[in-house]
């Protein structure tokens, strides 16, 4: 195969186009707290539903960017993260099978999605990886290894937290800032694992253009979680220390992500040769 550029292959593009409406619909149901009538199982309190909704809408943003940017190297970390995310949710479904509403069409839509995507996404990753020559775009920034290592270390710690919640949901239930069940704890662990996996991918690629969209996605999702916490502040009835840590970590994560993007975007702007348009539209 002769590689000319890293444009997305057709199956990946169509997958992105088809999945966006599904994710937007999930966001509406969850953020408006309509899980009793419209979701695969009833979720309470509303804070959990809205955190999930935030994750789904940020996922919709990511796949819109996949469909519009159409360049593989700009989105590949998101496919790794989404594979982990869907795998954890499939595992949570199997472990808590009896808690789902098997008579509701939304359950079968949920089950189909999380049976298919853990296999589909790695296949799309494998197809598209051959199209990426590994070269930087004009004006692209090569990120320093020390910074990538710091980001990856933070991702590894976050992934460890997600793994502990998945394996020992009782620990999360005891210390969570809002009420959780074993099912919702394991579900939340998938949403924690998603950005963590993206951060770990920083070790494999030093092109800033490969991480701008995944980092935009993570920032958008965290801002939506902040909005959820404001809307459902009455649900934050856990230990005071847990609530304080949750709010502090959320604010710090948003600030650091925005700061990182601003710094690297400025470096990219300074590196773009005068008189050129730089990298393709992002």
Helix axes 212-231, 46-69, angle to 10 degrees: 160
Report the alpha-carbon distance of residue 47 to residue 53 in Å, rounded.
Answer: 10
Phi, psi at residue 28, to the nearest 5°? Answer: -60, -45
What count of other Cβ atoms lies within 10 Å of the Cβ of residue 15?
20
Report the alpha-carbon distance of residue 69 to residue 281 in Å, rounded.
Answer: 7
What count of other Cβ atoms lies within 10 Å of the Cβ of residue 2?
3
Report the alpha-carbon distance of residue 152 to residue 232 in Å, rounded.
Answer: 31
Report the alpha-carbon distance of residue 209 to residue 174 in Å, rounded.
Answer: 40
pLDDT at residue 277, rounded to an integer:
45
Q: List Cα–Cα distances, 239 to 172, 174, 175, 182, in angstroms.
A: 12, 9, 7, 18
- Please give the chain's pLDDT, 282 residues, in tens: 344 567 889 999 999 999 999 999 999 999 999 999 999 999 999 999 999 999 999 999 999 999 999 899 999 999 999 999 999 999 999 999 999 999 989 999 999 999 999 999 999 999 999 899 888 888 899 999 999 999 999 999 999 999 999 999 999 999 999 999 999 999 999 999 999 999 999 999 999 999 999 999 999 999 999 999 999 999 999 999 999 999 999 999 999 999 999 999 998 877 665 444 444 444
Predicted TM-score of the model (pTM): 0.91
Q: Which tokens sit at 46?
A: 């509303």
Closest by CA to 64, choosing from 75, 53, 49, is: 75
What count of other Cβ atoms lies within 10 Å of the Cβ of residue 189?
25
pLDDT at residue 39, rounded to an integer:
95
């Amino acid at each position: 195969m002769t590689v000319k550029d890293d444009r997305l292959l057709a199956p990946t593009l169509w997958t992105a186009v088809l999945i966006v409406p599904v994710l937007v619909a999930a966001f509406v149901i969850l953020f408006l707290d309509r899980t009793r009538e419209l979701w695969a199982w009833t979720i309470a309190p509303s804070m959990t539903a809205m955190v999930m909704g935030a994750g789904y809408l940020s996922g919709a943003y990511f796949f819109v960017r996949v469909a519009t940017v159409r360049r593989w190297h700009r989105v590949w970390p998101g496919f790794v993260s989404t594979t982990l995310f869907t795998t954890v949710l499939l595992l949570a479904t199997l472990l808590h099978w009896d808690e789902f509403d098997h008579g509701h069409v939304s359950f079968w839509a949920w089950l189909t999605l999380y049976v298919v995507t853990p296999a589909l996404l790695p296949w799309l990753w494998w197809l598209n990886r051959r199209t990426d020559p590994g070269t930087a775009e004009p004006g692209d920034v090569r990120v320093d290894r020390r910074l990538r290592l710091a980001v990856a270390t933070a991702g590894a710690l976050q992934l460890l937290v997600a793994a502990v919640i998945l394996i020992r949901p009782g620990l999360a239930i005891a210390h969570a800032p809002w009420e959780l069940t074993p099912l919702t704890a394991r579900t939340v662990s998938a949403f924690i694992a998603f950005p963590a996996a993206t951060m770990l991918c920083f070790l494999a690629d030093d092109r800033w253009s490969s991480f701008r969209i995944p980092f935009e996605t993570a920032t958008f999702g965290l801002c939506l979680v902040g909005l959820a916490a404001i809307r459902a502040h009455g649900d934050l009835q856990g230990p005071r220390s847990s609530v304080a840590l949750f709010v502090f970590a959320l604010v710090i994560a948003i600030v650091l992500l925005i700061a990182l993007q601003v710094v690297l975007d400025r470096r990219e702007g300074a590196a773009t040769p005068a008189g050129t348009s730089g990298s393709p539209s992002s």
